[in-house]
Every structure is written in C-alpha cells, then in structure tokens.
C-alpha cells in the first residue's frame, strides 16, 4: 500500500478539556512547492469524516488552488482515522477513551505543523468546507495576523443549536445498535452505521435536490434506495464509529469564542478576524442555514457573504459532487485570491 | 379507566396491498351534535403517532371547529394504537405481521364509519395536519362529491422523495436497536425509541425555532437537553414501535393517485378534487416544504395556497403548540367555513 501523505509527530498536545494526547500525530498532504520567501502557502483542513484525499477535488492546475502557484497543505482532522484517532491511538487513550478534541485543539496542532515543522510564518489563504470551515474560522480568530485571506464555506464559526440537534440524531442512530457496546466493540456496529447514514441522507441534500431526482439524473444512481445504500451506507460503513463520534463531538462543541482568548464572547472573536473573508453558505444547506452566516458576517470587519446558488444542500460546498458548484466556488476563490 | 371514545367494528377490511384486516376496529371521538339534516359534520383524521385527543386543541367554543355548531368526528388512524394496530390485533396479523395500510385504506374505513355507521351523506369540511392532511387529500379525491370544503395543513397529497428519506432515518434509528428483534420484542426497544425521537427533533422544528430558543423561551424547557429528553423522548417512549412503523409506512407510501381510480396519475387525482380547498403549508416546515404544496394547488381547480407564517417548522400546524399559529389556522378555517 502506497501512502500518499506524511505524519508529523507533534509530541504532547494538551487539549482544552484536560487530557493530553501523547505522541499526537497529524497526518497531512501537500501540493505544490513552497516558494523562496514562503509566501504562497495555504491551509485547507478536512471535514467531518473526511480525509485529505476528500479535499483534493478543489486542487488542480488552472484552479484557484493551483499547485503550480501555491503550496497547499491539507491537514487531517484529529479523529479522522489518519491523524490521532480512537482507532489508532494506543492504550490507555484508545477507543472509547479517546479524549474530547475541540476545533481550537485541531487548529493549535495544525499551527505547530505549519510554523514549527514547516517553518511557515504567513499564510495566503485558509479555507474549508463544513467542519473544515469551523477550523478555518478558528485559524482566523486564534491567529489573526497570520493570513491574508479566509474562505469558510457551508460551515459556521459556532455550532448552532439546530445543528447540534441534527448531530444528536446521527449519534443516537449510530449508538442505538447494541453492537456498539459503548464504544468497546470488536466488530463494528454495522446496523448503527447504516442507520446513521440514513439519518444523514435527509440532511446532506436539499428537498429540491430530491424533488429534482438529482441522485438519479446527475449522480447516476439507479433508484432512491440505491442512493441510500450505495452512496450513504457505502460512505459510512468503512468508518470507525468511535472516530465518527470524536469528530461529531468536535462539531457539536464548535465555538470560536470557547477559549481563553475570547472567553465566550462570540462577537468579539468574529470581530478579531483580520483576514479578508468570503463566507460562503449554501443557499439550500439544511444544517448551516444562511442566517447564521449573515450573523457572522455582520460581526466581522472585512467579510463578505456569498451564498452558493445551488440546490445541492450541504453538498454545494463539497466534495466536488456537483461540477456547477465547484465552478462557482473556484471562481469565487480566484476572485478572493486576486484581491 | 374512563374511555372517552368509541370503537366501530368495520368487519372485514380488504386492504390495497392484499391483506384483510378482520374485525377491523376504528376508534373515533365526536364533538357536538349532528343536526337534523345531517349537514354539519366534519372529519378530522389523526396524524403520525397521534391519537384523537391530540387533535382536540383545534376544537372549542368560539373556534372554527365549534361543537355548538358542528358535529366534529376525529377518526383514529389505523396503526395508532386505538384503531386496529400491531399492538392490539390478535394473531396471526399481530405485531410484525400487521399488514401494510395505505392512506386510501384509512379513508375507505373512515368513509364506512361516516356513511354506514353514522348515516352521514355529506360533510361540511375535511381537515388534517401532517399525515392527517394526507388523509384529507384522499377524502377529497376518493369522494369528491362528498364535502364542501377541504383544509390540509402542513402535509401533502403524496410523500415527497425527501420526506421518504427523512422517514427512513427515523425508521433506521428505531430499528437499529437489537432489542427491536425485527418487531418480535417482548420488551420495547427503548434505545431505538429514544434514538428515533432525537432524529425527529431536528426535523420537527425549524432552524429558526432553535436559533430563537423557543424551546426554552416559549415552551418552558430548562435546556436543549431537557427539551430532547422530556419533550421528544417523552413523546416517543410510550409508543409501540410496530405501531410507529405501520404509520410510518403509511406516510412513506402516501400517494393520492396510487389506487384504481387514478392509476398513478397524480395530477388527475388532484384535479378531481371538487371541494373548495385551503392548502396551508408551514413556511419553515422542513419535511413538507412549500414548493410541494404549490405544485398541488397548481393542479387543483378550487384551491388556494395559504402558507402559515411561522418559525415553528412542522409544528406550525399542530398540535396546538404555538398559540399564534393556532390563532392563524383557526382564523383561516373560519374564513373557509364562512365562504
């Protein structure tokens, strides 16, 4: 098996909630070459359940994220199975004992990788989809001097109460399977994984997407049930349940101000972001509705709200599912990079 | 225990999907008195998991559904635990063997009750919320000569593909619990019921409802978790899982034209409705979006689209949860009855 990514051993990472991840590993992949003055770097964190290769659809010659111009770093989220996760951490912090990790923890770890390991002091752009957007916001508020540009899409700086409830449903479905055994399974709770997938299916795409039968007409599935089994269950089944729950917790507890810098003052945290920012919600995203992005933009000093005009729901922002949305997003990123 | 409702034994009910419910029971409750010429009757079917008392919030002196003027009949849906259901049907059609029941079957059974048992030949109004709206539409298309007025709210004449997927998530969460035993449980799968409740929680109310913390500010719950446990899990736990799945199947397979009268021609079925109709979707309903109601109204000859201006999501239409919505709905029903 060829491994196309690197692992950085951070050493000990003290986490916000008290635990320490010893020999904490951060997986990452890079594209392009760092230029002489190290001014062409970008950071593009992964999303809930995604791994770095799930971000590659936005990288390519002629695109905004052009490896011939930029050095593009995709760090894997903690808990995603490649970076330190319940599934790959040795005892005693393995499996169900894997500690709670916040978006802040993720970004602190990524900052170490960028500055200490790669020696990069400045970033041109930080961007991300969904839980990757949450991390992008954190980059902007925790290290406000460090980047020129910020582009969070189909995500938020704080988990909304409704989004929290949606994730509760996913979690409850996954853990209702007795085979989950409170996280101490030897064999994976496949019924629970399939159930979580079916719950997610209603949230991932919009009502209009389903009404227009884009699962069949555009994605090529042979029936709605085929879409549910092949796309949704097929995506969830290979994942490790404890890993999914670790990232889910990260999402549910996402809050830009939940740290010693901003002490719960969400508006202050948003206001502290200096980077020129394009906040790009999906117009039909069911769990990151546009109103939350509007609120964020209203409290930022240099941000613009750019809704993605798409019926693909949350998937307007990734992972390259709809070519029209990729084109729109890529165009806006080019515009942002040209400014 | 005082029983406040009656049971009508229909005899044998041949169902659309082939089975026969022998000694089929229809529970119902009535309000008011049938007048001499039997011209003041209304039918108001129940909704997914609801029972007749869950409809009573819309009935009252001075309201549109005024028992001093009208004879209001609330028939319990098949599968709801009071009418014939998996939980109360004797072997061999008990529990997991309870047959598939369509909205058409429900309405045929209700029609027998109304005409054969109560001797009513004409209805002033048929109305319903959610799956009750599905039944109201069926009344309108299956017995187009029988009523003056129709008022389906927060529902549809056909289960949309997205709505189907949402219900798949609820079903998958409920049945992921091994204690469900494919429906042959002796003790209820409480983990599955709680999971189904948590899945439902994200769909029942809108993003804005949660953003505005109306669960706390208006409904009086002490925290989001208290709302999830007390309101949602508290609602689902007393229900019988096989009953829930019977009604869920009814909802998922709702289609006004799936019968020998309309042979799958949905537009023809809508066009056949003669009653003056107010179709009232909730403006923020996540699983009965307004677009589906628009389509229905466009194919009906005497229907008006009246969105309920509410942030209470699906609960804009019931069960009396938000006084402002009750006032709006009651006002529109009065307007319809006055016409």
Span A12-36, mean pLDDT?
A: 97
Model confidence pLDDT, tens digit, residues A157-189: 999 999 999 999 999 999 999 999 999 999 999
Taking one residue from A and the other from B, the number of pairs with CB-CB distance under 8 angstroms is 134
Give the nearest chain A residue to B172 (CA atoms).
Answer: A195
Q: Do A291 and B207 touch (CB under 8 A)?
A: yes
Which residue in the block uniquely carries the two structure tokens 């930022």? A300
Bridge partners, B14 (sequence order) = B20
Give the nearest chain B residue to A164 (CA atoms).
Answer: B202
Strands (E), A117-267: 123-129, 147-153
- Nearest CB neighbour to A192, from listed B160, B176, B211: B176
Does the pLDDT at position A256 exceed 60?
Answer: yes
CB of A30 closer than 8 Å to CB of A72 = yes
Q: Do A173 and B175 touch (CB under 8 A)?
A: no
The span from the CA of A129 to the CA of A329, in Å, is 11
* pTM as predicted: 0.97
Of A197, A161, A201, A196, nearest to A314 by C-alpha is A201
The residues of A assigned a catalytic role are 130, 285, 314
Encoded tokens for B154: 């927060």
The span from the CA of B126 to the CA of B75, in Å, is 11
Does the pLDDT at position B3 exceed 90?
Answer: no
Split at pLDDT 50, 70, 90, the class of A3 is confident
The span from the CA of B135 to the CA of B156, in Å, is 9
The span from the CA of B337 to the CA of A268, in Å, is 54
Model confidence pLDDT, tens digit, residues B77-114: 999 999 999 999 999 999 999 999 999 999 999 999 99
Does the pLDDT at position B1 exceed 60?
Answer: no
Q: Do A210 and B161 touch (CB under 8 A)?
A: yes
CB of A153 closer than 8 Å to CB of A147 = no
- Nearest CB neighbour to A173, from listed B199, B203, B289: B199
Span A296-314, mean pLDDT?
A: 98
Q: Calculate the alpha carbon distances from A300 to A145, A155, A266, A297, B51 in Å.
A: 15, 16, 11, 5, 49
Q: Does the complex come out with an ipTM higher than 0.90?
A: yes
Of B76, B103, B106, nearest to B88 by C-alpha is B76
Q: Tell me the residues of B at the A interface, defined by beta carbons under 8 Å apart.
A: 160-162, 164-166, 168-169, 171-179, 189, 191-192, 194-195, 197-203, 205-211, 213, 224, 228, 286-287, 289, 291-292
Q: Residue B3, class by beta-carbon neighbours within 10 Å (0-12 exposed, 13-18 middle, 19+ buried)?
A: exposed
Model confidence pLDDT, tens digit, residues B292-335: 999 999 999 999 999 999 999 999 999 999 999 999 999 999 99
The span from the CA of A160 to the CA of B196, in Å, is 21
Model confidence pLDDT, tens digit, residues B193-250: 999 999 999 999 999 999 999 999 999 999 999 999 999 999 999 999 999 999 999 9
Of A116, A120, A158, A119, nearest to A137 by C-alpha is A158
Which residues does A328 contact at the CB level (< 8 Å), separation at least 6?
A308, A309, A310
Of B170, B164, B127, nearest to B41 by C-alpha is B127
Q: Calculate the alpha carbon distances from B277 to B44, B58, B198, B300 in Å.
A: 14, 18, 34, 9
Dihedral, CA of residue B61, residue B63, residue B66 and residue B68, to nearest 10: 40
- Given B105, B215, B285, B292, which residue is catalytic? B285
Of B254, B316, B253, B247, nearest to B51 by C-alpha is B247
For residue A285, the distance in angstroms to the closest alpha carbon of chain B comes to 11
For residue B152, the distance in angstroms to the closest alpha carbon of chain A comes to 20
The span from the CA of B68 to the CA of B289, in Å, is 35
- In chain A, residues with a C-beta closer than 8 Å to the C-beta of B178 are 177-179, 191
Q: Do A172 and B169 touch (CB under 8 A)?
A: no
- In chain B, residues with a C-beta closer than 8 Å to the C-beta of A291 are 207-208, 211
The span from the CA of B299 to the CA of A196, in Å, is 37
Beta strand A123-129 with A71-75 is unpaired
How high is the mean pLDDT of chain A? 97
- Nearest CB neighbour to A202, from listed B162, B195, B201: B162
CB of B193 closer than 8 Å to CB of B179 = no
CB of B325 closer than 8 Å to CB of B310 = yes
How does A7-24 read in b/e, with b if 16+ C-beta sit within 10 Å?
A: ebebeebebbeebebeeb
The span from the CA of A293 to the CA of B211, in Å, is 13
Q: What is the pLDDT of residue A93?
A: 97
For residue B49, the distance in angstroms to the closest alpha carbon of chain A comes to 19
The span from the CA of A321 to the CA of A315, in Å, is 7
Model confidence pLDDT, tens digit, residues A108-118: 999 999 999 99
DSSP annotation string for B47-65 = -TT--GGGGGGGB-TTSSB
CB of A148 closer than 8 Å to CB of A275 = yes
Q: Do A162 and B289 touch (CB under 8 A)?
A: no
- The overall longest dimension of chain A from CA atoms, in Å, is 56
- Nearest CB neighbour to B160, from listed A176, A192, A211: A211
For residue B266, the distance in angstroms to the closest alpha carbon of chain A comes to 15
Span B3-27, mean pLDDT?
A: 96
Encoded tokens for B305: 């689209």
For residue B67, the distance in angstroms to the closest alpha carbon of chain A comes to 39
Dihedral sign of CA atoms A27, A29, A35, A36 in order = positive
């Amino acid at each position: 098996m060829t491994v196309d990514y690197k692992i950085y051993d951070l050493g000990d990472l003290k986490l916000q909630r008290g635990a320490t991840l010893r020999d904490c590993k951060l997986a990452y992949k890079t594209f392009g070459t760092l230029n002489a003055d190290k001014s062409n770097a970008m950071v593009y964190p992964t999303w809930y359940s995604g791994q770095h290769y799930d971000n590659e659809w936005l990288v390519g010659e002629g695109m905004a994220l052009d490896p011939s111009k930029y050095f593009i770093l995709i760090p894997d989220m903690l808990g995603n199975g490649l970076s330190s996760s319940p599934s790959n951490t040795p005892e005693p912090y393995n499996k169900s004992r894997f500690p709670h990790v916040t978006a802040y923890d993720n970004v602190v770890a990524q900052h170490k990788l960028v500055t200490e390991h790669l020696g990069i002091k400045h970033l041109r752009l930080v961007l991300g989809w969904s839980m990757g957007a949450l991390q992008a916001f954190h980059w902007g508020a925790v290290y406000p001097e460090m980047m020129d540009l910020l582009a969070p899409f189909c995500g938020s700086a704080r988990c909304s109460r409704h989004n929290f409830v949606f994730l509760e449903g996913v979690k409850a479905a996954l853990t209702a399977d007795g085979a989950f055994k409170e996280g101490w399974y030897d064999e994976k709770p496949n019924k629970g994984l399939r159930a979580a997938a079916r719950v997610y299916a209603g949230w991932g795409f919009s009502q209009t997407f389903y009404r227009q039968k884009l699962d069949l007409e555009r994605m090529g599935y042979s029936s709605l049930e085929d879409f549910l089994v092949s796309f949704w269950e097929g995506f969830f089944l290979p994942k490790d349940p404890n890993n999914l729950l670790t990232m889910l917790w990260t999402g549910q507890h996402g809050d830009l101000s939940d740290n010693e810098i901003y002490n719960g003052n969400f508006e202050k945290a948003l206001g502290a972001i200096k980077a020129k920012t394009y906040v790009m919600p999906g117009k039909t995203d069911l769990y990151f509705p546009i109103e939350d992005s509007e609120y964020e933009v209203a409290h930022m000093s240099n941000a613009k709200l750019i809704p993605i005009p798409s019926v693909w729901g949350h998937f307007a922002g990734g992972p390259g599912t709809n070519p029209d949305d990729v084109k729109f997003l890529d165009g806006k990123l080019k515009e942002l990079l040209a400014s």
